[in-house]
């Protein structure tokens, strides 16, 4: 079992729709969870981080964390073509500063 | 510098040669990371350094890979006797480790390695 798992996609959504990206992790003691966006040929950049169970909203983005189910998700409301990118889930292992990334989900927002 | 700086941006080498990749982190960031990203794949953890602690080398794929960080700042990733499967983008990131900090990783632009 991979430490951090994501569906590779592509996930295609029409412009204006909600995109839902999912991630599961294996280390039950993990404390910190991150979503990065990576445009083709570019480096990853942070979108959101979440530490506590529940939802965290920032503009069009909402991160959701369920530690009991070892599940973290990212919702993008009012999706725009400029949101088309690969979204990487990252988990910081408990007791370390080591970050493990999933393989990423490729999102396509269709105009 | 303002961001994480990596060099070279592109490196083409012949199988069996050694290569060195350099990373200059953001000033003041105590944590430094190396990741590898093959075409269309996610980020594969290689190694990280945090302050004066022993580095976590658990992701290095073989003993041909090594890394050092001098003076708590610049890091060099060395790949000896390169193989074609080493071809990838090598990404360096740094982070501020401080109570209350988010833990965000700031990435450099990467070093693209091609082994012929």
Report chain A's C-alpha Rg in angstroms.
Answer: 13
Q: How many angstroms separate the CA atoms of B77 and B5, rounded? A: 14
Q: Do the Cβ atoms of A104 and B107 come within 8 Å?
A: no
Comparing CA positions, the residue from A82, A52, A71, A92 lying closest to residue A7 is A71
Half-sphere exposure of B39 (CA within 13 A, CB side): 5
pLDDT tens digit string along B56-67?
Answer: 999 999 999 999
The nearest alpha carbon in chain B to A103 belongs to: B42
A102 in B contact zone (CB under 8 Å): yes
Alpha helices, DSSP H, located in B1-116: none
The nearest alpha carbon in chain B to A7 belongs to: B42
Q: Do the Cβ atoms of A43 and B109 come within 8 Å?
A: yes
Residue whose entry in the numeric block shows the structure tokens 């982070």: B95
The nearest alpha carbon in chain A to B106 belongs to: A45
pLDDT tens digit string along A52-108?
Answer: 999 999 999 999 999 999 999 999 999 999 999 999 999 997 778 889 999 999 999
In this structure, chain B runs to a length of 116
pLDDT tens digit string along B67-115?
Answer: 999 887 999 999 999 999 999 999 999 998 876 677 899 999 999 999 9
């Amino acid at each position: 079992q991979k430490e951090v798992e994501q569906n590779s996609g592509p996930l295609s959504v029409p412009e204006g729709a909600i995109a839902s990206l999912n991630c599961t992790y294996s280390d039950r003691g993990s404390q910190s969870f991150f979503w990065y966006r990576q445009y083709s040929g570019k480096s990853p950049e942070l979108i959101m981080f979440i530490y506590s169970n529940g939802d965290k909203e920032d503009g069009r983005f909402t991160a959701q964390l369920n530690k009991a189910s070892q599940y973290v998700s990212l919702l993008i409301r009012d999706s725009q073509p400029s949101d088309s990118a690969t979204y990487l889930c990252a988990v910081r292992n408990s007791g370390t500063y080591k970050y493990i990334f999933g393989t990423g989900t490729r999102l396509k927002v269709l105009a | 510098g303002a961001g994480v700086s990596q060099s070279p941006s592109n490196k083409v080498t012949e199988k069996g040669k050694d290569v060195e990749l350099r990373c200059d982190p953001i000033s003041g960031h105590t944590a430094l990371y190396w990741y590898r990203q093959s075409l269309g794949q996610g980020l594969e953890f290689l190694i990280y350094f945090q302050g004066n602690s022993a580095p976590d080398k658990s992701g290095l794929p073989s003993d041909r890979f090594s890394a050092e960080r001098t003076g708590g700042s610049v890091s060099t990733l060395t790949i000896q006797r390169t193989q074609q499967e080493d071809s990838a983008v090598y990404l360096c990131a740094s982070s501020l480790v401080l109570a209350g900090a988010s833990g965000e990783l700031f990435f450099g632009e990467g070093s693209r390695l091609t082994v012929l």
